[in-house]
């Protein structure tokens, strides 16, 4: 027997309709590429998303055609999120930090019909356009008078504002199967070609509900949320959808992601929640420390995408009074998997005992089912100690990659995350490594994240990466690559001494290399594969 409930598909257009109707005057604030601050509202966004959808119709784009974007976090990108997906096309967010060769490859693999871009990415468009014959329209996100001169000869060049101005602000969003594809995002492809993850309307709306939950982002119509995480990286972790679902004010930072710019925007817009990867928080943390500044409105930050070092979490909590929610997820998971917040029984614990939980990646959100297994696929106990591969499944987790020649990655219906973890009896997950980053020394595994976290706790360290260096006796040994804090004279011996008593002796890195900077990938994560290539052969003074 079926239930007697109305059958309404979960569609992305419904999120914007809701926000425009019930939170129409709630603001969307954007720092633009031009440097100024732009203000709009959900009601205006809905009108312009409708104009955008009408423009796509007028240009002859079909349902399910792919529309690429190369854009920062801002109101026009936000309009495209709804105008494109709402009208049954697929929004393909492209990471502009990738190499132009990779971008051209992705545009062709996705078979994009249109690509919309911020003016700062005009050089990328010049480089890729001749190699992307399938793209019929190159839409610059600007007024017609601002169209870049360097692209004037580009066939199919259009101004977004001119396109919208020619269209009506009335549009009836089509109603279709909620399992229809809505958006496409490629993984950064640190190994091999990037892989396309194809989200659906259903997965996106369910993920938005989950993101808004109290123990996740705890979003409400009283919040002001700033996604530092880019809209080209897993839909800014779903914030643009979850904010509409809750009527939350949105603040978009555009390209200005340095500590000073973020601080000023957060202060001016009363931001209560911000979300981003650890490397961007370092900039904000240092700026606020150096200038003895505070953000009284900012209650919490979500830090994820890479391990947040306990020292960073402590600095936010104790020095700045900002609560940190450590989160874990991946592109294939829309991305939210776990988030770390305490349970009632933890409230009676000492501050230090609470902190020991808070530094973990957190517990699964309803909708994400997890298992930890050994190399044979046998389940390991949830004892907080046994480490193995993490498998996940759920309605917003990928079942396959877009246009992939490989078989589905699923194992018995479970997606292998490639992360090595332990799970404690309360379900809190701790990531010890990515399978490809773990250091295998004499048959034992050493967690690179654990060694990095210790280095990050030293006041002289700004950033640290721990990588495996081949070793004739032990197979691999840990090598620490460190960026010193400005003004620090920290040396190798002092840093290695700092490890004494914090981990078993055999886990202490063999050597330390000081570098001016650690290479970061397109999503702001440390490129350990690059470091391995660079330093794997280096001679250690100690080992030599």
Region near ligand ADP per CB under 6 A, out of 56-64, 75-83, 329-337, 397-405: 329-337
Is the Cα dihedral 141, 142, 146, 152 positive or negative? Answer: positive
Query: How many of the other CB atoms lie within 10 Å of CB of 215?
Result: 15
Phi and psi at residue 441, in whole multiples of 5°?
Answer: -115, 115
- Closer CB to ligand ADP, 320 or 327, in the complex: 327
Catalytically annotated residues:
187, 332, 440, 445
Question: Residue 157: enclosing H or E segment and its boundaries?
Answer: strand 157-159
Supply the minimum distance, in Å, between the C-beta of residue 432 and ligand ADP. Answer: 9
Q: Dihedral sign, CA of 61, 63, 66, 68? A: positive
Is residue 235 a contact point for ligand ADP (CB under 6 A)?
no
For ligand ADP, the binding residue among 217, 242, 307, 336 (CB under 6 A) is 307
Q: Is residue 330 a contact point for ligand ADP (CB under 6 A)?
A: yes
Write out the two tokens for 13: 């257009």
Among 188, 272, 279, 422, binds ligand ADP (CB under 6 A): 188
To ligand ADP, the closest distance from the beta carbon of 358 in angstroms equals 12
Of 432, 535, 524, 431, the C-alpha closest to 482 is: 535
- DSSP letters for 407-430: PP--BTTBEEEEEEEEE-TT--EE
| Among the listed residues 148, 304, 310, 524, the single contact to ligand ADP using CB under 6 A | 304
Query: Could you tell me the smallest distance in angstroms from the CB atom of residue 522 to ligand ADP?
Result: 8
The site map against ligand ADP for 308-327 (x = CB under 6 A) is ------------------xx
- In this chain, which stretch among 134-142, 204-212, 402-410, 415-423 interacts with ligand ADP, using CB under 6 A? 415-423
**H/E run at residue 282:** helix 278-290
Residue 526 tokens, joined: 């440390």
How many other C-beta atoms lie within 10 A of the C-beta of residue 135?
23
Out of 14, 83, 247, 305, the only residue in the binding site for ligand ADP (CB under 6 A) is 305
Residue 471: phi and psi, rounded to 5, are: -140, 130
Nearer to ligand ADP by Cβ, of 337 and 509: the residue is 337
Here's the x/- map for ligand ADP, 478-507, by CB under 6 A: it reads as: ------------------------------
Stretch that binds ligand ADP, among 182-190, 372-380, 502-510, 530-538 (CB under 6 A): 182-190
What is the Cα–Cα distance from 301 to 278, expressed in whole angstroms? 11
Q: SS3 breakdown of the chain: % helix, strand, coil, rounded to 5?
A: 30, 25, 40
**How many residues contact ligand ADP, by CB under 6 A?**
21
- Give least dist CB 169 to ligand ADP, A: 36
Quick check: 441 binds ligand ADP (CB under 6 A)? no
Residue nearer to ligand ADP on the CB measure, 98 or 271: 98
Per-residue 3-state assignment (H helix, E strand, C coil) for 65-77: CEEEEECCCCHHH
- Of residues 73, 85, 93, 187, which one binds ligand ADP by CB under 6 A? 187
Q: Transcribe 24-91 into DSSP letters.
A: TT-EEEEE-TTSSEEEEEHHHHHHHHHHHHHHHHHTTPPTT-EEEEE--SSHHHHHHHHHHHHTT-EE
Question: Please, what is the minimum distance in Å from the beta carbon of residue 138 to ligand ADP?
Answer: 26
Site residues for ligand ADP, 351-380, by CB under 6 A, read: 361
**Binding site residues, ligand ADP, CB under 6 A:** 187-188, 190, 304-307, 326-328, 330-331, 335, 361, 417-419, 431, 434, 523, 525
């Amino acid at each position: 027997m079926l239930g007697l409930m109305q059958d309404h598909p979960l569609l992305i257009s419904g999120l914007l309709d809701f926000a425009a109707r019930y939170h129409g005057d709630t603001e969307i604030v954007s720092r633009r590429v031009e440097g100024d601050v732009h203000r709009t509202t959900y009601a205006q966004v809905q009108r312009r998303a409708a104009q955008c959808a009408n423009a796509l119709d007028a240009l002859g784009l079909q349902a399910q055609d792919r529309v690429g974007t190369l854009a920062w976090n801002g109101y026009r990108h936000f309009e495209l999120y709804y105008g494109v997906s709402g009208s049954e096309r697929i929004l393909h967010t492209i990471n502009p930090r990738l190499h132009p060769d990779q971008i051209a490859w992705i545009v062709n693999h996705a078979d994009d019909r249109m690509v919309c871009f911020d003016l700062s990415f005009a050089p990328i468009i010049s480089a890729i356009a001749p190699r992307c014959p399938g793209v019929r329209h190159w839409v610059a996100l600007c007024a017609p008078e601002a169209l870049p001169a360097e692209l004037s000869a580009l066939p199919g060049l259009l101004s977004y504002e001119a396109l919208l101005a020619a269209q009506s602000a009335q549009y009836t969003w089509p109603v279709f199967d909620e399992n229809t594809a809505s958006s496409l995002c490629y993984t950064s492809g640190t190994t091999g070609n990037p892989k396309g993850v194809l989200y659906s309307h259903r997965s996106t709306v369910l993920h938005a509900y989950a993101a808004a939950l109290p123990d996740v982002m705890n979003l409400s119509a009283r919040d002001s949320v700033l996604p530092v995480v880019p809209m080209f990286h897993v839909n800014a972790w779903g914030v643009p959808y979850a904010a509409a679902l809750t009527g939350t004010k949105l603040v978009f930072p555009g390209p200005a992601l340095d500590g000073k710019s973020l601080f000023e925007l957060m202060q001016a817009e009363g931001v209560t929640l911000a979300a981003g990867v650890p490397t961007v928080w370092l900039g904000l943390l240092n700026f606020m420390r150096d200038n003895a500044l505070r953000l009284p409105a900012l209650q919490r930050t979500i830090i994820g995408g890479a391990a947040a070092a306990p020292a960073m979490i402590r600095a936010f909590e104790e020095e700045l009074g900002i609560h940190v929610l450590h989160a874990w997820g991946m592109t294939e998971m829309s991305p939210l998997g776990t988030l770390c917040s305490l349970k009632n029984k933890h409230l009676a614990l000492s501050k230090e005992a609470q902190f020991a939980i808070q530094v973990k990646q957190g517990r699964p959100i309803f909708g994400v089912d997890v298992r930890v297994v050994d190399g044979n696929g046998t389940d390991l106990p949830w004892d907080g100690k046994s480490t193995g591969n993490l498998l996940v499944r759920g309605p917003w987790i990928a079942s396959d990659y877009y246009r992939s020649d490989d078989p589905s990655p699923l194992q018995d219906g479970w997606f292998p995350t490639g992360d090595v973890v332990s799970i404690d009896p309360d379900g809190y997950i701790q990531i010890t490594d990515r399978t490809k980053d773990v250091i295998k020394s004499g048959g034992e595994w050493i967690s690179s994240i654990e060694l990095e976290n210790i280095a990050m706790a030293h006041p002289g360290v700004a950033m640290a990466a721990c990588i495996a260096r081949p070793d004739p006796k032990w197979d691999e040994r840990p090598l620490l690559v460190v960026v010193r804090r400005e003004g620090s004279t920290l040396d190798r011996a002092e840093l290695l001494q700092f490890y004494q008593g914090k981990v078993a002796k055999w886990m202490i890195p063999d050597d330390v290399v000081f570098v001016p900077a650690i290479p970061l990938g397109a999503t702001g994560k440390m490129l350990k594969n690059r470091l391995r290539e660079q330093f794997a052969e280096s001679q250690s003074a100690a080992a030599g």
